[in-house]
Each structure stands twice: as structure tokens, then as C-alpha cells.
Structure 1
Amino acid sequence: MGEVMLSVESLGVTFTRGGDTVRAVRGVSFDVARGESFGIVGESGSGKSTVLRAICGLAPTSAGRIALGGQTLATPRPATFYRQVQMVFQDPYASLHPRHTVDKVLSEPLAIHGFSDREARIEQALADVGLGPSFRFRYPHQLSGGQRQRVAVARALILEPQILLLDEPTSALDASIQAEVLNLLDRLRAERGLTYLMVSHDLAVVAHMCERLIVMQHGLAVEELTRAALAAHRAETDYTRALLAASAGYTPATA
């Protein structure tokens, strides 16, 4: 494994709801190398998305350490963190402001972080995700689901981060559009040397995108697998075997 870009050690996230304490993440550890695509798979409620939220500082860390490039992250996260790490959410309709044009969506992060060459950056960001200049002044309701998610990817990439956190980035899309967006993300990672941490309930999606993955259940990491082990169906736990069976149309990915 090359240089470690992101390190999560014995992470715990605990929520209090009413009088109940919910241990959403319990002692989860993993490292992601620079340029790697790493996956977290699990059912709804397994804690997988909470791990991403904890990395972003959006969920309360009750135990453990999160480090970026060997440096432990401070809480709250400094502005420089968001230049390096950006997140793409599950539902592109909910994550884009309905009354903001694509131009405004893309110019906002540039303004916040003080970029001057906004015009050129916006045009380049749209081109990078396969959308022409005609999309600049459209509103989210004038776009298809796949186009909206492309805009969300463009917004995440416009600050030139090194790491993308992908939270079920295609689960709200039709199967044919899913493949388009996944292939786009694959291409962008190869071109830019990006590091991905991807969360999904769908083992087939993660097998397509990631070299290594952990499987989460009830807040715990129950198994770590390589893509090759997954392709050979070498799962050690019944839970992972059940996830494999549930991935409809799952075909072993080439290692």
C-alpha cells in the first residue's frame, strides 16, 4: 500500500435520541491510500454513511481518530479541509438548491474559497462532467437525475480536492444512468489521481469501483475484502455472503 491519504482508527460515533443512546459506529478502522478507491458496504442503518459524516465533521465522534495525510483532524474542520475533501450525496435533487442555477451552484464554492478565475473554472467543470455550456443557466428541475448528479460531481471537483467522499452517489438513478455516472467517476479518478471513499448498500456497485472494501453491520466492520476476493466469492461472513446474493445481476468484477 502506498502513502496513506486518509486514516480512520477505532472510530466511534454515538447519538443520543430522547433517552436512548445509539452507538452508530463502533471501533471502525481502515486506511485509504493516495489514488485508491475504497468502499464501505452495508445495509441501511449499518453505520456506513455515518462514517462519512464523521470524516466531514458532521457527526459527533465519541472515540478514535481521523487523520488526513497523517495529521489528526481538528473539530470543527478548518476551511482548508474542504479544499481537500468534498462529498457527493445520494440524492442530487435534494443536494442542489431548487432556485439556484447551475452557474450559481458552481460559483458559490469558488466565491467562498476566494477563487478569481470563476468563469473559466465553471466552464471547465461542466466540460469535465460531460455537460456543455448550455447547462450553465438551467435550474435543477430542468435537468434529468443523471445530469443533476453530474452537476453535483462538478461542484465537488471545482475546488480541486484530493479526496471525494461518495455517499450512495448512484442509488437514486436508473440502472443505465448509474453505469454512466460510475464510469464518469472512474475516469475522473484516473485523470486526476483522486482518492475515493465510497459508501453503498450495493456490493456490485462497490466491486465495480473499489479495489478494497469493508463490510459494515450494526456499526461494526465485520470483514475487509479485496476486489479479487469478492470476484472469487471468498467472503468469510454469512452477512457478506447474503449481501453478495442480494446484489441482483452481480457478475464477478475483473480483478
Structure 2
Amino acid sequence: MNNPAVSIRDMQVAFDDFVALKDVSIDVAQKESFGIVGESGSGKSTLLRAIAGLNVFEKGTLAVNGRDYPGRGRDKDFYRTVQMVFQDPYGSLHPRQTVDRLLSEPLAIHGFSDSEVRIARALDEVGLGSGFRFRYSHQLSGGQRQRIAIARALIVEPKILLLDEPTSALDASIQAEILNLLEQARTERGLTFIMVSHDLGVVSHMCDRLAVMKNGAVVETLLPEALEKREFSADYTRQLLIASEGFGRSGR
């Protein structure tokens, strides 16, 4: 893989005596949508947060677009390139800030001067209008909050989005809208996605490849088509597939 967007080698994350990530290695290509699946406690969100700098890794390496980053601490340039959308749209937005403040803050941090134009464009891109600009998060539905969270991530024009179960807290009817919004943004902007999910159907629909994690380790990496054809090597992947109700890959 030439010049991967994200390259991880032998990453280990421990919390006291508990090893949450065990020598994980993955490569994610430029403009690829890469999925990470596994049951609760498998280490998938820990891995995503370690990439973002929210979890410290004491062992291993992380490179983003060819630049090495340490186990702790990220600079402003990193967050200009890499943004994260969290699982809970109720917890990821400051309750005392308007949408305008939520969107203008990252623009100020990264030195953008044309904030008026960018905020209007960001709201339009996520399917909301200028009428939402001065609302507070408690005045928004769950789906609207997640749209604002996505707008906040996209507004600084990153190249890589880290998506931690971005639809799992939403009603099923809203999930498809958010996934379609994300896919449209990826296509139009040429983004790289790393998406964590427990839902094999979502990952299979959204991602080009996926890694299956269990107990802090990557069990195997495969194409979504291999799931449809039952062409996988790990019995754990088979168990996940059986446990995933309503699994399908329609609409791809």
C-alpha cells in the first residue's frame, strides 16, 4: 500500500494492568473507508481514540499521511487533518453553546477568517439551514445534533474522519440519513474514513475493507464481499455474523 493515510504498527494500550490493545497493526489507504467491528470490549473504540490522541499508547507507532505521531499529545496540524465524530450526539456538543459558537470555535482555532461563509456552507452541507445557527443543542433532535457534530468535524476541511459508532444512538429511520450524508461527504471531499461499529450491516454497506477485533487484537481483515460469501477464516467472525440481526448489504 503506497503512502497510506493511516499506518499503525504493534500498537499497545493499557489501563493499569489491563491491556486493551494488543500489538494492533493496520494500514488504511488514502480515500478508503475502513471499518472496525467487534463486540463490546473488543478494543475497537480504544483503537480509534488512540489514533485521535484521546488514549495513550505506550508501545507501537502511528503515522498519518507519512508523519509519525507519539503515543500522547497531538498538535494543531494533526486536528486540521484528522477529525472525530463521536457516538453520542447528546454528549459531544456543549449544552451552553449555540450552533454558531460550536462551528465558529474550530474555525478560530485553525485560523480561518471567512467564518460566515463557512458556517453557512457547513449547515447546508449537512442538510440543515441558517435557521439552526443560533439554536442550542437541547433544541435539536438527536439526528440534528449528529448533523451538527458532523458539520463541526468537516468545517476545518480534514482529510480523515474517525467515526465512533456515529449512528448507534439514533433511531433506525435517522441512521440511514446520517450514513448517506457521511458517504456523500466522503465522495465529494475525497475523505478517508475509519469507522467503528458493532453493526456488520452498517460497516459492510459503508466500508471498502474491515478489521474484526476480539479481546484487543485484530482477528482478521477482509472485504465486505467475503462476509456475503462466508469467506472468512476466523470462527469469531462467523459468530459475529450470526449475531448481527438483519445483516445485509443492500444499497451499496
TM-score using structure 2 length = 0.96
CA–CA distance in structure 2, aligned partners of residues 182 and 249 of structure 1? 17
Provide the rounded CA distance (Å) in 2 between the counterparts of 1:70 and 1:28.
18
Alignment of 1:78 with 2:75, yes or no, is yes
Identity of aligned residues (%): 63
Q: Kindly report which structure 2 residues correspond to 1:61-100, keeping only aligned pairs within 5 A, or say none.
A: 61-74=57-70, 75-100=72-97
Task: Please report the RMSD computed on the Cα atoms of aligned residues, expressed in angstroms.
Answer: 1.3
Residue deviations 1:9-40 (CA, integer Å, cap 9, x gap): 11110111xxxx01000011111111000010
Distance 2:179 2:144 in 1: 13
Q: Could you report, residue by residue, the CA deviation over 1:77-132 in whole angstroms, capped at 9, with x for unpaired residues?
A: 11110000000000011000111111111011111112111111000000111101
Instruction: Give the count of matched residue pairs.
Output: 251
Residue 107 (structure 1) aligns with: 104
The 5-angstrom pairing of residues 189-208 of structure 1 reads 189-208=186-205
CA distance, structure 2, for counterparts of residue 133 and residue 188 of structure 1: 19
Which one of 177, 182, 186 corresponds to residue 185 of structure 1?
A: 182
**Cα offset, 1:176, TM superposition:** 1.2
Q: Which runs of 5+ in 2 are unaligned?
A: none
Among residues 44, 50, 63, which one is paired with 1:48 in the alignment?
44
Secondary structure, in 3 states, of the residue corresponding to 2:116?
Answer: helix
Q: Is 1:139–2:146 an aligned residue pair?
A: no
Extract unaligned runs of 5+ from structure 1: none
**SS at structure 2 position matched to 1:52:** helix
User: Secondary structure of the equivalent of 1:94?
Assistant: coil
- Of 12, 18, 37 in structure 1, the residue corresponding to residue 33 of structure 2 is 37
Q: CA deviation at 1:254?
A: 7.2
The 1-side partners of 2:79 and 2:140 are apart by 26
* 1:169 paired to 2:166: yes
Q: 1:230 and 1:254 mapped to 2: Cα distance?
A: 16
CA distance in 1, matches of 2:134, 2:92: 17
Whole-angstrom distance in 1 between the partners of 2:131 and 2:8: 41
Structure 1 residues 123, 254: CA separation in 2 closer, same or farther (over 3 Å shift)? closer
150-159 vs 220-229, which moves further: 220-229
Residue identity in the other structure for 1:72: D
Match of 1:10 in 2: 10
